[in-house]
Each structure stands twice: as C-alpha cells, then as structure tokens.
Amino acid sequence: MTTTPDTTWENWAQTATDPLNAMGKPEALDGVVVMDLSRGNIGGMVCSSILSEFGAEVIRLESPEGDPARGFTPYGQMHEGVGLGYLVEARNKHHITLRLESSEGQSIFRRLVRHADIVIETFAPGVLDSWGLAYAQLRQLNPRLIWAAQSTYGHFGPRASTPIADYDITDQALSGLTYFNGERVDPEQPHPCQVPTKAGSWLAWYVGGVWSAFGVLAALLFRNASGEGQLVDVSPPEGLARFLDFNLTWYHAAGQIRERIGSLDATVFPYTFVRCKDGYTFLAGFSDTSFARLAHIMGRPELAVDPRFDSVAKRTTLETAAELMVELEAWTARFTAEEILNQVQRDPGTAPVVTGRVNTPLETFQEENWWVRGALQRVDDPMYGEVVVQGPPWKMSETPPRIKWLCRPVGHDNERIYLQYLGLGTSQLHDLRARGII
C-alpha cells in the first residue's frame, strides 16, 4: 500500500532540491579532473561549466596572453578586465597558462594529461596534431583519458579537414535552424527583415557544449564498465540539427523542405505570439477541445464551429492560420498580457489553453520566480564583485549543482595547479615564466 505523505508534494520537492541547501551536499563529479583547452570558443567552456557545476575540478588552460574569448563581449564592454561572454562561463574554473606552441609547453602538457580524466578542446582538426598533442598522440599516455573535441565539421568525414575556426554564427547557419526561422515573405508587404534569421543568443555553441557534456558522461559511465577512455566528437551544427523536430523526416517522407513561416506553426495552431495591449503574448489552444475552450474564453464560441477553423488540419494551413490570427488579435489587442492570463485562469475549462507574456530580458530579470528558484543568482566573487549570472538549471536532491566562484584572471592558479600536479616549485615556475612558457 502507498503511504500517505505528511507534507505536500511541493513542500517536499522544495525542501529536497532548493539550491539554497546545495552547499552541504555531495557533488556527483567530485574527484574528476578536467583540462579545458578551448580557445576563442565559448562552446567548449559550456561543456566544462556543466562538469564544474557538478563538482569536477576544471582547469582552464590558456595561452600566456589569455584566451581571445575573454574579448567576446557585447559592444566591447569589459567587467574588471574580462568580457561578459567569458565571465559567465568561467565559473568554478581554475585558470592556468601554457604555451602549447612551444616544445617545452608540449612536454608539460604531456605530463599534465596523465593526471586528467577528461580533456576538452575546440581546435580545428589538425591544429593539435601539428603540436603532437592530438588524442591519437596522447592516448597511450593515459588509456583512461576521455577526449571531448568540439569543431564545426567534426573529426571525421569528407569535410573534417576544413580549416575554419568554430563559431556560433557559422554553426547556426549550418544547423538547418536558420533556414526556416524568421519572418515569412509577404509579397504584398516585402521587408528586408523577411530573411532566414538566427537565434539571438550563442545557441549553437551552447547546444554543442551541452551535447559534449552528455557525451563525456556517457563515456565516464562506459569507462566505469570497461576501464577504457575514448574520443567524444561533437559538431555543434549537428547537435542543433537534432533539435529540429520533423525537419529531415518531412523531407524523407514527402520531399517537403521546411520553410519560413514567421510565428505561425505547421503542426499546431493557435500556438503563436499575438499582439496585446502592452506588447506581445503567447497564446495556444490547438486541439479541437482546446480551441473550443479558447473561443469560449474569447467570447467567440462560433469560431470553434466556423467551417474555416473547425479542424486541426484546417487551422494549421498557413492561409487559414493567418485569417485566424486576425481574429485572435482582434481580441488580444484589447487586453494586457496579464489580463489575458487572468481570463484563462478564471475559466473553469480543463482543455489546455496556455498563455504568457513575451518578456524582454529586463522583464524576466525583474520576476521574483527566477530568483526564488536560483535560475538567476547574484554571485559575490572576491575578484569580480557582485555579478548576476544564470544558475545551473537542475534541482537535485542528492548532488545539486552549484556555482562557487565566477572567474579568475589569466594564470591566476599557476602556482597551485603546477605544484599540485607536477610538483613544480617557485623557482621552476619563475624560470618558465621568464621564458614565456607560462
């Protein structure tokens, strides 16, 4: 028999997973050592961020001049000498320097790699080989090593040797998302913005980093079983392509290319953004029962039986959807997003009708919910001061992820890491520094 719990589910879940209680709990990746060699690439750093949030010791290895990614920042804005893009993904990482291009730097890296469980790198295939530091050349030193490589075209296949750096914008273009994302071409009102449109954030880089973390974890589990490390090869555009619903399947099944249709939808409608009194809001009620409920809430019950709109197939036809859009906006334009939400919540119906305001980041920033949940956190870093960053998105009862510190300057942890792993003392480090190796 099932026991009846004495607290509500919500209370139990909050007590068990509130990030405020994280610090006293164990970490899933405690003891796992990661070397992150990403250069000029935030995607690789997303992978190491995730591993670090779960407790791995992540060592960022930069060239002595510092990673050029420290300068990837909106309109050139720097915070205490570091760009905002880097600042956000430097969390929990130790920062050391090493000149991989020099033979001495290479031999030091060969020593370091014996201590690592995981290496993350984002060089174009071939670059590390020329320094004698590719996985193929290092795996004998550490057969348990897991090597995560992120590159635009991946490490095998006909285009693998294309010598281009891996950037978010090129990854987004190749992914297939950009092609069908954006405003629909309107022959009557053409506009220069009716073109394939990218996602605003570094979506492909981040998606690549998440997939690498997934692959690294699968490799760690396999290593537990086999004792064997391996190469994990991730191409960010392939990672984002996997997220494109029926994009490829539709072409295979029907020869149909998925095209740009603005905020309309080929499979579910209404399921779109609509103009309202104070901006835009999302509005959905796409099954027949949901649409009937929405029509009722709108005070337009006849729409549900209107022969233009009375089936899913009709509503998802683009021309019909555009007509229905006019009806929806005639209603929504009279209310604020909040008023629309209230009307939906007051309605006693049960079929899903879903709505909510399209928030700007500043509006999202001002909502209490995200702070209560730890999705946004104000981190007080001893070197970078108080900065708001996004927290780990998972709430976990036993091994909650966490942010410990934000960032460190170039080479900040040289002394500690080189002493800990290679036993290098002060005078040896001084010597290496004098010769520009670290």
Partner 1 sequence: MLSELSKPANGTVDQGFTMQCLLDQPEPLRGVRVVELGTLVLGPAAASFLAEFGAEVVKVELPPAGDTMRYITPGEFWQEGSLGFLPVNHNKLHVGLDVHRVEGQTVFKQLVARADVVIENLKAGAMERKFGLGYRQLREVNPSLIYLANTGFGQWGPFSSGRASYDALAQAASGFAAISHFPGRPPLKTNTFIGDWTGACLSATAVLMALFYRQRTGRGQFIDYAQSEGLIRLLDWTWAFVGINGRDRAPAGNQDVAMSPAAIFLSRDGSVAVAAPLDPEFRALCRAMGQPELADDVRFCNQEARLVEENLASLHEIVGGWVASRMTDEVVQAGQDCGFAAARVMCSRDHYLDEHLQARGAVWRFEDPVYGDAVEYGPVPKMSASPGRLRWTARPVGFDNDYVFGTLLGLDARRISQLEADGAIRTWGDRPGARPPSGWRGEGMLLKRSGR
Interface with partner 1 in residues 232-291 (CB under 8 A): 232-235, 238-239, 241-254, 256-258, 260-263, 265-268, 271-273, 275, 280-282, 284, 287
Smallest distance from the beta carbon of 384 to partner 1, in angstroms?
10
Q: Rule CB under 8 A: which of 296-355 touch partner 1?
A: 312, 316, 345, 352-355
Q: Among 348, 368, 423, 434, indicate the residue that binds partner 1 (CB under 8 A).
A: 368
**How far is Cα 133 from Cα 123, in angstroms, rounded to an integer?**
11
| Least spacing, CB of residue 309 vs partner 1, in Å | 17
Among 64, 356, 409, 411, binds partner 1 (CB under 8 A): 356
> Looking at 81, 114, 156, 347, which residue binds partner 1 (CB under 8 A)?
156
The size of the interface with partner 1 (CB under 8 A), counted in residues, is: 188
Binding to partner 1 (CB under 8 A) within 52-91 occurs at: 54, 68, 71-77, 79, 83-85, 87-88
SS3 82: strand
**Of residues 156 and 330, the one with the C-beta less far from partner 1:** 156
Comparing CB distances to partner 1, the nearer of 102 and 197 is 197
List 59, 207, 298, 324, residue binding partner 1 (CB under 8 A):
207
**Could you say which of 37, 231, 324, 432 contacts partner 1 (CB under 8 A)?**
231
C-alpha span between 27 and 327 (Å, rounded)? 52
Q: Where are the beta strands (DSSP E) in 50-105?
A: 57-62, 78-79, 82-83, 93-97
Residue 361 binds partner 1, judged by CB under 8 A = yes
271 vs 418 by CB, closer to partner 1: 271
- Distance between CA 213 and CA 203 in Å, rounded? 15
Q: Considering beta carbons, is residue 159 or 435 the nearer one to partner 1?
A: 159
Closest contact distance (angstroms) between CB of 328 and partner 1 is 14
**CB closer to partner 1 out of 9 and 427:** 9
Strand bridging mode 146-150 / 271-276: unpaired
Nearer to partner 1, 30 or 431 (CB): 30
Supply the minimum distance, in Å, between the C-beta of residue 341 and partner 1: 8
Pairing of strands 146-150, 118-121: parallel
**How far apart (Å, rounded) are the C-alpha atoms in residues 205 and 417?**
28
User: Which candidate, 402, 395, 374, places its Cα nearest to that of 30?
Assistant: 402
Return the bridge partners of 93, or none.
58
- Is the Cβ of residue 275 or residue 277 nearer to partner 1 in the bound state? 275
CA of residue 112 relative to chain centroid, distance: 29
Rounded CA-CA distance 87/44 in Å is 14
Is 13 or 141 the residue whose CB approaches partner 1 more closely?
A: 13
Q: Counting every residue, how long is the chain? A: 438
Rounded distance between C-alpha atoms, residue 154 and residue 145, angstroms: 19
CA angle at residue 204 from 401 to 43, to 5 degrees? Answer: 55
**Binding mask 110-149 vs partner 1 (x if CB under 8 A, - otherwise)?**
--------------xxxxxxx---xxxx-x----------
Q: How many CB atoms lie within 10 A of CB 40?
A: 16
Give residue for tokens 């994990």. 232
Q: Which two tokens stand for residue 263?
A: 């905020």
E strands, 322-384, are: 354-357, 376-381
Task: Map the footprint of partner 1 across residues 6-35, applying CB under 8 A.
Answer: 8-14, 16-18, 26, 28-29
From 104, 106, 110, 182, residue interacting with partner 1 (rule: CB under 8 A): 182
CB of 302 to partner 1, least distance (A): 25
Residues within window 369-388 making contact with partner 1, judged by CB under 8 A: 369-370, 372-373, 375-376, 378, 387-388
Q: Which is nearer to partner 1, 24 or 423 (CB)?
A: 24
The set of long-range contacts for 334-339, using a CB threshold of 8 Å and a minimum separation of 24, is 334/277, 335/276, 335/277, 336/276, 336/277, 336/278, 337/276, 337/277, 337/278, 337/279, 337/280, 337/281, 338/278, 339/277
